[in-house]
Amino acid sequence: MKFSKDRLAKFVVSLIFLSCVLFANFYAVRKMLSLGTEVYFYDKLSVAYDIGKRAGLDEELKKILSQGKFPKEIVIAKNFEVKLKTLKDPYSFINSEVDKKKDQIKLIRNLRTWALAIIIFIFGWRTISSFKKKPE
């Protein structure tokens, strides 16, 4: 089987494109997991605030810092603990963070969906266009 330079170039470009898309997908998944951890963290704090107000919030933070299972969650808890000292209304801040993180996750999911649709379209179009009829 003989490859022409044109066909080889198309193959290399397709391989580079596919590699970039796979890397972008990997990065998007990692970003969504990170944002999911933050949503989970702020949701826990929101419930703690609903139950015990400021004292419940402080108790939940102490519990996370002492018994935290996830390193990312402990880092977020330390940052939030510092920020909590200057917050007047922690409940609205927590809810706005949850909403913001959920919106970012939705945006990443939508971008991944569009990227997948574009990949399917491009490779489908290339496959269909490669079946040219031979002149008789």
Question: Over the stretch 3-35, which tens digit does the pLDDT of each residue have?
Answer: 677 777 777 877 887 787 778 778 888 888 888
Two structure tokens written together for 121? 């379209």
What does pTM read for this prediction? Answer: 0.63
pLDDT of residue 60: 85
Distance CA 101, CA 122 (A): 32
